Amino acid sequence: MTELRIDLARLRANVRAVAERVAPAALLVVVKDDAYGHGVEPVVAAALDERVSWFGAIDVPSAARAKAAAGERARVFCWATLPEEAVAGALDAGLELGVGDAGYLERVARIASGRGAAAPVHLKIDTGLHRNGVRPEEWPSFTARAAALERDGAIRVVGLWSHISEASDAEDDLSRAVFEEAGRVALDAGLRPDVRHLAASAAAWHRPAFRGDLVRIGAFCYGVRSAGDDDIPGVAPAASLVADVVGIGAEGVEIGVGWLDGVFSTLAGRIEVGTPAGARTLLDVAETTSTVASWPGAAVGDKVVVFGPGTTGEWTPTSVGEAAGTVGEEPLLRLSPLIPRVHVD
C-alpha cells in the first residue's frame, strides 16, 4: 500500500527541540488540516507525552478532535470566525475561540449567554497582515466592549493574539510594536488575559522578543522548515511518502501516488525518488499516479520513496515543495486524504 509513514519518535523529538528553544514561553502545537496531514490524534498523543498543554487549529473539526484526544490535559484554541450555527458546537467541544471582529464578539457573547457559561475568547488585533483582526483604531472600543461583556459573564478574555507575516523582520517589528500597544490598551480596559501570542515557527525560533507567553507552531513540529532556513538543529521531517509500484509501462514505472493539484505536475524531471535500484528521476505527476524512470527488474509491489529517508540527498517535504515552486507544507497538505497515514514508533 502507498502510505505516508509518520515517525512518532521523530515527531516527539521535534516537539521537544521546539519546546526547549522557546521556553519559558509555552508551546501551542498547531494541528490544522489534520495536523498538516499527519493525523490529529497520534500527533496530540505524541505532543502530550512531551507535556505540551496547548493545541490549536483554524478549523473546528481538527480543533475538536484535538480537544477530544487531550481532554483536560490541554487547552485548545480555534481561530476561524465561525458561522452562527457552529459557535455552540465549538463551545460544547470545549474550544477557546479566536475573535477578531466586533460583530462576531456580539454573536459569541449572545450564544454563550444563552448557554449560561462564559465563552473563553482570544481577542485578535490586526497588526498589519490584514487577514482578519480588529484594526488598531477600533481596538480601544472593542476591548472596552469585551470588558463589559466579561463583567456580564458572557465571555472570558483568556488571550490576546495576532499573526505576522514572518517575511520581513522590519515589518514584523512594526507588528510587534502594534501588538504591545494593544496589550496596554487591553490592560487599561480591565482585561487580564492568561496568554498573549504572536509568533509561528520562524519568528518563535529566531526572534526571542516575539515569543510572549505562548507560540503557535506547526511547521517546525512536523520537521518542515521555512524558506531560507537550511538547518533547524534538532528538527527533521517526521513524514516519509512511500509509494507502491502499480504498473510497468513503456514510458517508465508507474507508482501509486499523485497530487490532485496541478502545482505538482511541475515536479516532472526535478526530483529523484528512491527505488530498489537507487535514485531515479520522477518523470511525470498525475492525479493518482506518477511515472518514474525505469530500472532493471522493476516489479509491481516494489517500494519507491518519494520523500524521506531512502531518497538520494534525502528529499524532504520542504525540498519537494521548493522544487515545485511552493512551500514545504504543500506536498503534505495536498496529498490525498485517501492515502493511509501509518504511525510508527
Site residues (CB under 6 A) for ligand PLP? 30, 32, 58, 79, 163, 200-201, 216-219
Q: Which is nearer to ligand PLP, 191 or 200 (CB)?
A: 200
- Burial call 225-256: b when 16+ CB within 10 Å, e when fewer: bbeebeebeebbbbbbbbbbbbeeeeebbbbb
Kindly tell me which of 75 and 280 has the beta carbon lying closer to ligand PLP: 75
* Minimum distance of ligand PLP from residue 328's CB (angstroms): 9
Number of other residues whose CB lies within 10 A of the CB of residue 164: 24
Alpha-carbon separation of residue 140 from 36, 42, 144, 186, 193 (angstroms): 36, 41, 6, 7, 16
**Helix and strand tally (H, E) in the chain?**
12, 16
Closest approach of ligand PLP to the CB of residue 181, in Å: 20
Alpha-carbon distance of 69 to 55, in angstroms, equals 11
Least distance (Å) between residue 223 CB and ligand PLP: 11
Cβ at position 329, least distance to ligand PLP in Å: 7
Give whichever of 210 and 252 is closer to ligand PLP, judged by the CB atom.
210
Residue 85 or 231 having the CB closest to ligand PLP:
231
With CB atoms as reference, the residue minimizing the distance to ligand PLP is: 218
| Least distance from ligand PLP to the Cβ atom of residue 311, Å | 23
Nearer to ligand PLP, 60 or 304 (CB): 60
3-state secondary structure of 260: coil
Exposed, middle or buried: residue 338 (CB in 10 Å: 0-12, 13-18, 19+)? Answer: exposed
CA dihedral 37, 40, 45, 49 (to 10 degrees): 60
Q: How far is the CB of 131 from ligand PLP (least distance, A)?
A: 8
In this structure, the chain runs to a length of 345
Q: Could you tell me the three cell numbers for 104?
A: 462576531
- Least separation, in Å, of the C-beta of 71 and ligand PLP? 23
Looking at the Cβ atoms of 176 and 216, the one nearer to ligand PLP is 216
The answer to whether 58 touches 121, Cβ cutoff 8 Å, is no
Residues 172, 211 contacting (CB under 8 angstroms): no
